[in-house]
Amino acid sequence: MQRYLGKRKELRIYISNEDTFESKPLFEVLLALAKKSGISGATVMKAVAGLGVHSEIHSFNVWVLRQKVPLVITIIDTEEHIRAFLDESGKMIEEGLVTMSDTEVLQYHHPKFGEA
């Protein structure tokens, strides 16, 4: 659909899979907030490894059942929608990195909307 194309903002939130908010996984809380805020869409990606501000390397090990690994939440929407989301989500993130950059949506395909 045409309304999803063009210049947008890309928000990235870097957190850990162990981060919580009110005893719930933070990434799940942020996704629910994104939906409630009317964000077009969000993706959570689990990283294989990462190096953070504490200079500690966190990586996936198949032999460890519970482990701390980085997560990246990516949201692409208008700046207005993202800033409204940030007003609420900023209170939930105790430790992490939040970035926003310019991006351009060139194509968007979804069966519900037809071809863009």
Query: What does the pLDDT look like over 36-73, one tens digit per residue?
Result: 999 988 999 998 777 766 666 666 565 555 677 889 99
CATH code of 57's domain: 3.30.70.120
Q: State yes or no: pLDDT of 104 exceeds 90.
A: yes
Task: Give a yes or no: residue 84 inside a domain.
Answer: yes
Contact call for residues 105 and 6 (beta carbons, < 8 A): yes
Q: What pLDDT, on a 0 to 100 scale, did the predictor assign at position 100?
A: 98
Range of 64's domain?
2-105
Per the structure, the count of domains in the chain is 1
Q: Is residue 15 part of a domain?
A: yes
- 115 Cβ contact partners less than 8 Å away, ≥ 6 residues apart: 109
In tens, the pLDDT along 63-86 reads: 555 677 889 999 999 999 999 999
Global confidence as pTM: 0.83
In a domain, 110, yes or no: no
Query: Among all chains, which residue has been given the structure tokens 């989301």?
Result: 85
Predicted confidence at residue 116, as pLDDT, reads 47
Mean pLDDT of 93-113: 89
